[in-house]
Each structure stands twice: as structure tokens, then as C-alpha cells.
């Protein structure tokens, strides 16, 4: 097991979080959201990351953009370059400008995308390869664009279950580098993509449908400590058996919008 590495993360407070439209199977505008509880749960997530030694940056939330709390979808940041988002649904489109403006203000090099993509929702960095999801939100053309922007190899993976509409709901990088290790739920992927994952990452932690439905793969790992949704107890047990230290955080309110730990966190990689 590698030693944990301090990370830099971007989060956005759920000040305006609510579920008043439906753009994924988890969202139900008729189910009440406890905004105060959502704020407390998000704050505990932020505190957990800080207690683990990670650096936290905050993106100011904007009125009328309730999904901004899912900061991971606003870009993909690698090698000091912030590749912006271009959202599939009009309800979230305005989030992209808020993200790019923040990166510019912080001195990051930025790239305005030409293709539809939802940032780290559909892009994951293994330390060697960019894993890229498509099927529901991000266009495959964005995979080619990302490869040109970063000059890094991109591996396309097809998502086929609408419940797992972003790559980060079905797959997570537990450890980066030459000995990269993933966790993923095979049923979220096409048969060909399942075979590719099995061949390239034979040491992966394989999740089941219960783990995935509890957002157990929507996690953040520093190579040793893994922050994940408290509901995903089965996934936590699998991670512990694989040598990781699970750090459960309760995010029941934010799950009502179709996201959990990873959706709230975008990694800033210099």
C-alpha cells in the first residue's frame, strides 16, 4: 500500500441546493430536501477532508443553480490545466462559466471545451491514463478533445445503466500510478468495456449492484484513506479487506440530487 498523498480539492457549498427538476433517475422533485441538513452533511464532508490533511478551496455558489454543489462536474484539472465543462442539460449550463472564471482568477491555465462533457463526472485520472465515460452525459468527441488538450492517453468506457449516468457513480481510482487500482461496478458498463477493465485492472475491487446503488463508488481516495457514503457499508467492508481505511460520511440529502462524496469534490492537480 502506498502512503497517502495530500490533495487539493475544490468544493461548493450547498447554499441553494434543492431538487426542483429531474435530469437523472435519482431526482424526485416531489421528495422534500432538508436544506439545513444538507449543509451540515456537506460541512462534515469538508471537515473530514481537512482532517485528512487535504487542502480545500471553495467555489462560491450561485442562486438558481442548485446542482453547483456537485463541483466535480464543472471541469477536469490535470497538469495545471483546467478543462472546462459543457453540460448536457440546460438546467446546469450556466455552472460552466462560474467554474472557468474561478480557475482563471486562481491563475490556472484554462481550456474552453468545444464538446459536451461533465468534467470529473466522466473523467478519472489513474496516474497513467485518463479513463473517460460516455453514454449519458459526455460525448465521445470530448474524449478526443481531452487527449489533445493534455497529451495523455484516454480510454473510453461506455456506460449503459441510466442510474449510473456518470463514470464517477460506477468507477473510482483507489490508487494512482504504475500499480493503479480501481473499484468499479461491472453492470454499469457495456460488455466490451467490462472486458477492457478486467484486462487492464485485474486487481480491481469489484462492487456489486447494492454497493453501486448506495453510491459506494462515488468516493475519494488518497491512496490509503477512502471517504465514501456512509450508506455503502458493504463497499466499506470490501475496501477494508483490500487494505484501505474507509472513512464513512453521511450524505443522505445530497444523494437525493443523484450525487455523493465524489460528485461534491473536484481534484486540483498541478
Q: How does DSSP classify residue 197?
A: H
Mean pLDDT value across residues 74-87:
98
Q: What is the pTM of this model?
A: 0.97
Residue 246 lies in a domain: yes
Cell of 46: 469538508
What is the band of 211 on the pLDDT scale with cuts at 50, 70, 90? very high
pLDDT on residue 3: 64
Q: What is the model's pLDDT at position 1?
A: 47
Does residue 149 form part of some domain? yes
Residues designated catalytic:
166, 263
Three-state SS string over 48-91 comes to HHHHCCCEEEECCCCCCCHHHHCHHHHEEEECCEEEECECCCHH
Please, are residues 90 and 118 in contact by the beta-carbon 8 Å criterion? no
Domain assignment present for residue 227? The answer is yes
Q: For 212-240, what is the mean pLDDT?
A: 98
The answer to whether residue 3 sits within a structural domain is: no
The DSSP call for residue 7 is -
Identify whether the C-beta of residue 58 lies closer than 8 Å to the C-beta of residue 13. yes
Q: Region 8-34: what's the mean pLDDT? A: 98
Find the domain containing 186 and state its range: 8-267
Residue 239 lies in a domain: yes
Residue 222 near residue 4 (C-beta atoms within 8 A) = yes
Q: Convert the pLDDT of each residue in 106-139 to its tens digit.
A: 999 999 999 999 999 999 999 999 999 999 999 9
CATH of the domain at 194: 3.75.10.10
Tally of domains within the chain: 1
**Mean pLDDT rounded to a whole number for the chain:** 97
Q: Which of 232, 70, 259 is nearest to 164 (CA)?
A: 259
> pLDDT tens digits, residue range 22-63?
999 999 999 999 999 999 999 999 999 999 999 999 999 999
**Among candidate residues 205, 211, 218, the one with its CA nearest the CA of residue 251:** 218
Q: 194 lies in a domain? A: yes
- Please give the C-alpha separations between residue 219 and each of 33, 53, 84, 89, in angstroms, as whole numbers: 22, 17, 22, 24
Tell me whether residue 1 is in a domain: no
Q: Report long-range pairs for 176-180 (Cβ below 8 Å, ≥24 apart).
A: 176/125, 176/126, 176/127, 176/128, 176/223, 177/2, 177/126, 177/127, 177/128, 178/127, 178/128, 179/2, 180/126, 180/127, 180/128
Residues 179, 242, 223, 193: what is their CA dihedral angle, to the nearest 10 degrees?
A: 60
Candidates 225, 179, 183; CA nearest to 52 is 225
Q: What is the pLDDT of residue 2?
A: 53
Q: DSSP character for 138?
A: S
263 domain residue, yes or no: yes
Amino acid at each position: 500500500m502506498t502512503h497517502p498523498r495530500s490533495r487539493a480539492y475544490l468544493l461548493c457549498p450547498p447554499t441553494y441546493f434543492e431538487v426542483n427538476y429531474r435530469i437523472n433517475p435519482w431526482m424526485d422533485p416531489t421528495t422534500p430536501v432538508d436544506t439545513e441538513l444538507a449543509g451540515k452533511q456537506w460541512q462534515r464532508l469538508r471537515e473530514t477532508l481537512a482532517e485528512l490533511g487535504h487542502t480545500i478551496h471553495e467555489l462560491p455558489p450561485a442562486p438558481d443553480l442548485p446542482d453547483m454543489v456537485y463541483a466535480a462536474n464543472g471541469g477536469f484539472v490535470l497538469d495545471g490545466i483546467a478543462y472546462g465543462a459543457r453540460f448536457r442539460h440546460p438546467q446546469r449550463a450556466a455552472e460552466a462559466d462560474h467554474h472557468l472564471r474561478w480557475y482563471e482568477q486562481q491563475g490556472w491555465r484554462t481550456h474552453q471545451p468545444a464538446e459536451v462533457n461533465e468534467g470529473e463526472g466522466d473523467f478519472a485520472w489513474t496516474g497513467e491514463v485518463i479513463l473517460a465515460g460516455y453514454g449519458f452525459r459526455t460525448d465521445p468527441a470530448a474524449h478526443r478533445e481531452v487527449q489533445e488538450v493534455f497529451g495523455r492517453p484516454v480510454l473510453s468506457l461506455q456506460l449503459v445503466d441510466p442510474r449510473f449516468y456518470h463514470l464517477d457513480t460506477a468507477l473510482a481510482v483507489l490508487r494512482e500510478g504504475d500499480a493503479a487500482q480501481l473499484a468499479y461496478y461491472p453492470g454499469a458498463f457495456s460488455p466490451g468495456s467490462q472486458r477492457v477493465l478486467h484486462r487492464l485492472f485485474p486487481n480491481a475491487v469489484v462492487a456489486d449492484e447494492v454497493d453501486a446503488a448506495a453510491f459506494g463508488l462515488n468516493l475519494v481516495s488518497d491512496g490509503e484513506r477512502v471517504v465514501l457514503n456512509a450508506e455503502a457499508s458493504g463497499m466499506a467492508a470490501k475496501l477494508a479487506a483490500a487494505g484501505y481505511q474507509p472513512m464513512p460520511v453521511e450524505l443522505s440529502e445530497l444523494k437525493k440530487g443523484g450525487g455523493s462524496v465524489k460528485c461534491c469534490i473536484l481534484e486540483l492537480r498541478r
